[in-house]
A and B are shown apart, each in its own frame.
Chain A
């Protein structure tokens, strides 16, 4: 087994982690760093529940190796609120009922955040396209779309 000491930049903090090459970012976040806000639903890239932001872009933590992302910027749900103030998306998801069981929610929020960071006032179709890799089994998505629209409105 090949192991390396990696420097991971997670939510603005540098973490030094000794880990084997074959471990995914998802495994390292959840098991080595106790950051369990990132979820998993398939381990195979099929559900989107493990989405985190890599240099601001949504990627699947179950299909990315920790060694591949050393030195790059990683954002997880634990880093979405700043100084304890929830991101407008978090507030909107809460107020609009965009989370039911809440299992898809961290990934949804991060994917939506990457969209809002790029597009100021996305329309419903932009939102649909951006969230097309995030499965939700509870909500039927419409309240999620409403929440993203509301957060976009609240941002400016």
Chain B
């Protein structure tokens, strides 16, 4: 085989880009079936209340209304995690946040549906509300899930790896800091939409903007009590996901039920307001972190506490909670580590996974604290990070396996490109530079529900004309998974990605992929595609080698031909080669699959954070601050990301830039804010996502550490680049103004408050002072993995 690559790593356009730019891409709301009804949901106007009665009779009597349903029509609970099945499609007996769907209608048109909603009378008996961490931890508030009153603790965790007390004992310097990271949300531009159709044969089809067709399929089976074989889920191209469409939602069950009842297709398109209530976005997390350092900057111990305000339902909450403690060790060698965390229920929209799931918050805390430790120890931000940086092929104290690791390279690259060391601390007042790093998983090591089947399967079928069709349930949410698969298969077969037909995200047609979450698709579906395409290639090579009487290992697949190395003109073109293979061994249909290695450590909760590979990033942000108004302008960002291997460099850059963008929004603008149980502004005017005017130039630097297990060495890039951006900005603001804004987002009012404090002789810090007194219990002690060497 030749060593050069056909298409790998090139900056090729997405395979679906011409459809996108001509407006031909069909999102869920663009699909129509004859006779489609408009579905709408009635939302709770109480943060916490019992439903005493619902009268739907007037709505039902309205001309043009085809069905009205309430909680009792969909009584079976669901939830993305098998251990937390605490949601109903429509509230049963009780509403838990403003926006909780309580009833739904299907009507001939939007006007009638709206009128019908206004005719539904719900009789509520309000309960005391629980709207923040403090209330969630109080003993005398009503339980949001359960009867009576008490602490609304969803789950708490206490783990200790190594001996933390000993680690602090040997420290030369110890810091304790408190941080708060406000909640924020995905705000994908496309609002969630589903079209459900129950046909005469008793088969239900859902076209939905979901990132997880497989999990939705399973949940529909459960809630609707239909056999899986009679349900088809098609994930339409998502108009952005970012984790916001990563679990089943009310409207999906509701549309399905309304279609079953009416025998007509039903569409539900959430309004922007409803999307803010459906949420599942970033948890607000209050954090306390105590870290011990040796005088040379090495970390001797870390004790991390996180308090998550989870909102009204579990969602991925348990996993989110564990994530706030899991990945601290993936960037720095922490020899002794204690993690304590708690998630509470509150009467607000449920939080869940957003790009970086549970890890941007602790990353913010750790990276800001590290800069301060560096100041204390008279080190520079680069130095303290390099002293602690993890090494390739090592394990962490909490049993994570690190293989490829380009962290040092990333730090060196951004520091070099931004001239960090020469400029940090030396820019005029108001201007600053900040550095931070991060790491993220290339796919969660375990599936969401326990099973020992592969996490991803891909099928490649070749027809007699040489046409290649790739089948995969991987769902393109804009990240380019379809292009990634096409590129991998094209690379293997010596074709162009645009030559292939891609059939994706359809539970009837495609083999399982668990979904577009946890940055798993490139690694897992990519590996499955490598295997499937490899089998196809082997068969074609075998057939051609036989025909040419050549040695199979001398054959090269490139430019649509199969030829002997060194003699590209000899040998058949691809379609002829395919016919040879079919003639010799029959249909050319092959499949491949991927299953992550067993990585879980010897403790409960070790399933969270394990991954076959970790991506690494480092970021430098340059800011200019207006000391009078507190406005922070990010002038430039450098971001180096170790993606293992770039399968398509254009798409990798796109993910880096998109991650930087989203991180900047979180750092400076975005907050899912509440006043009591009421959202402060469920609109794109009040919830401020950056416009083009807020976006600085980004220098993306691709680092390739070539992972031993990734497809062609590739790792993830969808989430990781966001992580270091937020603390890099915070550290830059400190460099610029001398203030410490320990609360994200870094809004102008917070900056000015800190500056005024500084001017009065204070510390110039804005942020939470303390964390609640919560008894996490005695931590479970876990011995470090065998062979773990403390630095």
The residues of A with any CB-CB pair to B shorter than 8 Å are 30, 34, 36-44, 46-47, 49, 76-78, 80-81, 86, 89-91, 93-97, 99-106, 109, 128-129, 131-145
Contact = CB atoms under 8 A, between A and B. Distances in A.
A39 B242 contact: no
B21 A109 contact: yes
Contact of A49 (B30, B189, B683): B189
Contacts of A49: 189
B20 A139 contact: no
5 contacts: A91-B21, A103-B27, A103-B188, A135-B684, A142-B695
B191 A41 contact: yes
A100 B479 contact: yes
A93 B21 CA distance: 7
A42 B239 contact: no
A101 B478 contact: yes
Contacts of A140: 657-662, 695, 698
Closest A-B pairs by Cβ, 8 of them: A37-B23, A101-B478, A103-B239, A140-B661, A102-B20, A77-B23, A140-B657, A94-B17
Interface in B9-68: 11, 13-14, 16-27, 29-30, 32
Interface string B271-311: 11000000000000000000000000000000000000000
B293 to A, nearest CB: 35
B103 to A, nearest CB: 22
A5 to B, nearest CB: 20
Contacts of A137: 186-189, 240, 242, 662, 689
A77 B20 CA distance: 10
A41 B654 contact: no
Given A37-B23, A137-B242, A140-B661, A102 B237 contact: yes
Interface in B629-688: 650-651, 653-654, 657-662, 683-685
Nearest to A97: B650
B238 interface: yes
B691 interface: yes
B684 A47 contact: yes
A80 B18 CA distance: 12
B654 A139 contact: yes
Contact of A42 (B18, B25, B272, B695): B272
A137 B691 CA distance: 9
Contact of A97 (B27, B186, B651): B651
Contacts of A144: 692
A123 to B, nearest CB: 13
B477 interface: yes
A43 B271 contact: yes
B480 interface: yes
A39 B692 contact: no
B697 interface: yes
B685 A46 contact: yes
A101 B189 contact: yes
A145 B661 CA distance: 14
Given A99-B20, A136-B189, A139-B654, 19 more contacts: A41-B272, A43-B271, A46-B683, A49-B189, A78-B23, A95-B13, A97-B653, A97-B654, A100-B478, A102-B17, A103-B239, A128-B692, A137-B188, A137-B242, A138-B189, A138-B654, A140-B661, A141-B692, A145-B692
A36, A77, A109, A140 interface centre (most CB from chain B within 10 Å): A140
Contacts of B654: 97, 100, 138-139, 143
B693 interface: yes
A139 B657 contact: yes
B396 to A, nearest CB: 31
Contacts of B683: 42, 44, 46
A42 B190 contact: no
Contacts of A94: 13-14, 17-18, 20-21
A39 B684 contact: no
Contacts of A43: 271-272
Contact of B695 (A36, A89, A141): A141
Interface string B468-480: 0000000001111
B657 A143 contact: yes
B239 A101 contact: yes
Nearest to A92: B21
- Interface secondary structure of B, over-half rule: loop
Contacts of A103: 27, 188-190, 239-240, 478
Given A41-B272, A46-B683, A128 B693 contact: yes
A58 B691 CA distance: 17
A39 B685 CA distance: 18
Contact of B26 (A36, A40, A93, A96): A36
Contact of A135 (B22, B189, B238, B660): B189
A129 B239 CA distance: 24
Nearest to B241: A101
A138 to B, nearest CB: 5
A101 B698 contact: no
Contacts of B657: 139-140, 142-143
A3 to B, nearest CB: 13
Given A42-B272, A46-B684, A97-B651, A138 B658 contact: yes
A77 B698 CA distance: 29
A105 B692 contact: no
A81 B653 CA distance: 28
A129 B693 CA distance: 7
Contacts of B653: 97, 143
Contacts of A42: 272, 683-684
B241 to A, nearest CB: 8
Contacts of B693: 128-129, 132
A102 B18 contact: no
A131 B695 CA distance: 12
A75 B237 CA distance: 24
Contacts of A95: 13
A134 B272 contact: no
A65 to B, nearest CB: 16
B24 A37 contact: yes
B21 A105 contact: yes
Contacts of A128: 692-693
A86 B22 contact: yes
B658 A100 contact: yes
Nearest to B11: A97
B22 A101 contact: no
Nearest to A91: B21
A97 B684 contact: no
Interface string B352-366: 000000000000000
Contacts of A80: 22-23
Contacts of A132: 691-693
Nearest to A20: B111
Contacts of B11: 97
Nearest to B656: A140
Nearest to A104: B189
Given A41-B272, A90-B22, A135 B661 contact: no
A102 to B, nearest CB: 3
Nearest to A127: B692
Nearest to A96: B650
A77 B272 contact: no
Contacts of B689: 135, 137
Contacts of A78: 22-23
Contact of B477 (A101, A106, A129): A101
B64 to A, nearest CB: 14
Contact of A141 (B20, B650, B661): B661
A101 B695 contact: no
B242 A90 contact: no
Contacts of B186: 137
B209 to A, nearest CB: 10
Contacts of B191: 40-41
Contact of A39 (B17, B27, B478): B27
Interface in B469-493: 477-480
Contacts of B692: 128, 131-132, 134, 136, 141, 144-145
A97 B13 contact: yes
A37, A49, A100 interface centre (most CB from chain B within 10 Å): A100
